[in-house]
C-alpha cells in the first residue's frame, strides 16, 4: 500500500543523515509533487534511531523545521531574497534534456519559501 506526504525534502535529508551519507535504498517514489512510500521502513528507521514514535505526518514537520532553520541561519548571516535567485544562465541558456529556460519571475521565486 502506498503512503503519501509532501515532505520530500525531509525524506532526503533524514535518510541521508540516518544512513551516514551512504547510498539510500529505493524505498519511495515521487510523483505529483508528493512522495509515495513503498514500505514503513523509513518511519521504522527513524523510530529505531530516536527511540520515539515517528509517524508519516512527522516527515512534513521535520522538513519544514529544517528549511525554516536554514532560512533563519541564512538571514542572520546577511543573506536576502536576492541571494535566492538562480544564476542568469538558467534564464538565458536552454538546458538539456528539454532545452528550456527557467520561466520563474523574481516575485514567484520569493514565494517559494512561504510556508
What pLDDT, on the 0 to 100 scale, is given for residue 61? 85
pLDDT digits 0-9 by tens, 47-89: 888 888 888 788 778 888 888 999 999 999 999 999 988 899 9
Distance CA 52, CA 9 (A): 21
What pLDDT, on the 0 to 100 scale, is given for residue 41? 76
| 20 shares its domain with 73 | yes
Distance CA 4, CA 37 (A): 6
| 64 shares its domain with 98 | no
| 70 shares its domain with 89 | no
| 59 shares its domain with 15 | yes
More confident residue, 95 or 5: 95
Per the structure, the count of domains in the chain is: 2
What pLDDT, on the 0 to 100 scale, is given for residue 89? 92
Q: What number is the average pLDDT over the span 38-42? A: 71
| 67 shares its domain with 97 | no
| 91 shares its domain with 37 | no
- The residue with cell 534534456 is 97
| 96 shares its domain with 112 | yes
What pLDDT, on the 0 to 100 scale, is given for residue 8? 46
| 96 shares its domain with 72 | no
| 32 shares its domain with 52 | yes
Query: Average model confidence (pLDDT) for the chain?
Result: 75
Give the residue numbers spanning the domain of 44.
3-79
Q: What is the 3-state secondary structure (H, E, C) of the chain?
A: CCEEECCHHHHHHHHHHHCCCCCCCCCEEEECCEEEECCCHHHHHHHHHHCCCCCCHHHHHHHHHHHHHHHHHHHHCCCCHHHHCCCCHHHHCCECCCCECCCCCHHHHHHHHCC
pLDDT digits 0-9 by tens, 4-24: 444 444 555 555 555 544 444
Q: What is the pTM of this model?
A: 0.54
Distance CA 85, CA 25 (A): 32
Amino acid at each position: 500500500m502506498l503512503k503519501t506526504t509532501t515532505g520530500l525534502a525531509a525524506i532526503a535529508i533524514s535518510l541521508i543523515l540516518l544512513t551516514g551519507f551512504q547510498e539510500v535504498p529505493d524505498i519511495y517514489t515521487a510523483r505529483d509533487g508528493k512522495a509515495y512510500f513503498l514500505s514503513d521502513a523509513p518511519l521504522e528507521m527513524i523510530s529505531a534511531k530516536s527511540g520515539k514514535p515517528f509517524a508519516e505526518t512527522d516527515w512534513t514537520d521535520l522538513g519544514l523545521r529544517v528549511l525554516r532553520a536554514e532560512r533563519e541561519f541564512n538571514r542572520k548571516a546577511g543573506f536576502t531574497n536576492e541571494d535566492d535567485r538562480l544564476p542568469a544562465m538558467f534564464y538565458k541558456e536552454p538546458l538539456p534534456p528539454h532545452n528550456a529556460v527557467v520561466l520563474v519571475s523574481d516575485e514567484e521565486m520569493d514565494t517559494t519559501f512561504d510556508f
